[in-house]
């Protein structure tokens, strides 16, 4: 079977569901390959192609079981058709049958290891099944294929975290942030990873950088304070907020957090002194 032609048909149906996973350059490449391959088709291929077309049409109509039957008939005629395995994998995925979907996608990738779409589907299904160790080489392959794909970089970082490959996860998140800038959730995650590696100085450096970028973010400020409090350094936590209040007296968030700290430490005098500034702040 001229697989590029069949993959083209499948992609035209399924690409809209990929969301941020969609790779436009790859789609265009497959489309051109499919167009070129159409010209080489001979008449003996037409019955097989029509059956394949019908399987796609049934899937589009929501008749997943009928589509599955037609795909399996195709496999009886050609058991090495990666496009058919891909189609079956899509159906299984839509039916929430992750193990079966993974098996089909892996078979497609085995037949055509150069098709990055197959690798993508295998990686994400493995992620959803919490097969994080197995997903690592597939996400790595994706990021090597397209180093600027932020979705693949994030996915790779996540499976590295869940597999406790903390150093490599930090390096991956750094590559991600080189492209998109500082993201609070990722910076906090990096700080946690540094703590897992017993690198508290790097964790503190990361959190202070985050605070500098997002001085008005209450969750960020609470995270930095929590970092110091967990280490019994409440004075540094309060001093941090005091400095922020002095530098930005209009920062109502900082005023409010400082008041909370005074209450938590039963510092009534400090709270009463801070109260007028809290009331006056916007």
Higher per-residue confidence, 99 vs 218 = 99
Checking if the pLDDT of 21 tops 50, the result is no
pLDDT at 13: 42
Place 1 in a pLDDT band, splitting at 50, 70 and 90. Answer: very low
> Which of 28-37, 147-156, 251-260 has the weakest average pLDDT?
28-37
pLDDT at 279: 67
Higher per-residue confidence, 132 vs 251 = 132
Place 255 in a pLDDT band, splitting at 50, 70 and 90. Answer: confident
pLDDT at 29: 56
Higher per-residue confidence, 21 vs 58 = 58
pLDDT in tens, 46-104: 788 888 889 989 988 999 999 999 999 999 999 999 999 999 999 999 999 999 999 99
Checking if the pLDDT of 240 tops 80, the result is no
Tokens of 93: 């995925």
pTM (2 d.p.): 0.74
- The residue with tokens 């599955």 is 68
pLDDT at 20: 44
pLDDT at 163: 97
HEC per residue, the chain: CCHHHHHHHHHHHHHHHCHHHCCHHHHHHHHHHHHHHHCCCCHHHHHHHHHHHHHHHHHHCCCHHHHHHHHHHHHHHCCCCHHHHHHHHHHHHHCCCHHHHHHHHHHHHHHCCCCHHHHHHHHHHHHHCCCHHHHHHHHHHHHHHCCCCHHHHHHHHHHHHHCCCHHHHHHHHHHHHHHHCCCHHHHHHHHHHHHHCCCHHHHHHHHHHHHHHCCCCHHHHHHHHHHHHHCCCHHHHHHHHHHHHHHCCCCHHHHHHHHHHHHHCCCHHHHHHHHHHHHHCC
pLDDT over 70, % of the chain: 80
Checking if the pLDDT of 266 tops 70, the result is yes
199 CB burial (10 A radius; 0-12, 13-18, 19+): middle
pLDDT at 208: 93
């Amino acid at each position: 079977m001229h697989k590029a032609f069949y993959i083209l048909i499948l992609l035209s149906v399924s690409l809209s569901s990929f969301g941020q996973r969609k790779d436009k350059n790859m789609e265009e490449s497959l489309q051109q390959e499919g167009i070129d391959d159409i010209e080489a088709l001979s008449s003996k291929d037409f019955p097989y192609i029509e059956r394949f077309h019908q399987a796609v049409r049934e899937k589009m109509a929501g008749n997943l079981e009928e589509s599955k039957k037609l795909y399996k008939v195709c496999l009886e005629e050609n058991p090495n058709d990666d496009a058919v395995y891909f189609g079956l994998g899509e159906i299984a995925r839509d039916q929430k049958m992750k193990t079966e979907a993974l098996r089909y996608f892996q078979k497609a990738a085995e037949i055509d290891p150069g098709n990055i779409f197959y690798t993508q589907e295998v990686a994400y299904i493995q992620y959803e099944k919490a097969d994080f160790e197995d997903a690592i080489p597939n996400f790595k392959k994706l990021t090597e294929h397209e180093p600027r794909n932020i979705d693949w970089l994030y996915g790779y970082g996540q499976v590295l975290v869940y597999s406790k490959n903390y150093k490599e996860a930090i390096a991956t998140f750094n590559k991600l942030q080189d492209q998109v800038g500082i993201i609070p959730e990722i910076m906090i995650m990096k700080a946690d990873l540094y703590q897992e590696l017993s690198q508290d100085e790097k964790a503190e450096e990361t959190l202070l950088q985050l605070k500098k970028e997002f001085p008005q973010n209450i969750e960020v400020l609470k995270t930095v304070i929590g970092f110091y409090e967990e280490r019994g350094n409440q004075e540094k936590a309060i001093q941090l907020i005091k400095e922020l209040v002095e530098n930005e007296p209009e920062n109502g968030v900082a005023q409010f957090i400082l008041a909370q700290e005074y209450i938590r430490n039963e510092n009534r005098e400090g709270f009463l002194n801070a109260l007028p500034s809290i009331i006056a702040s916007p």
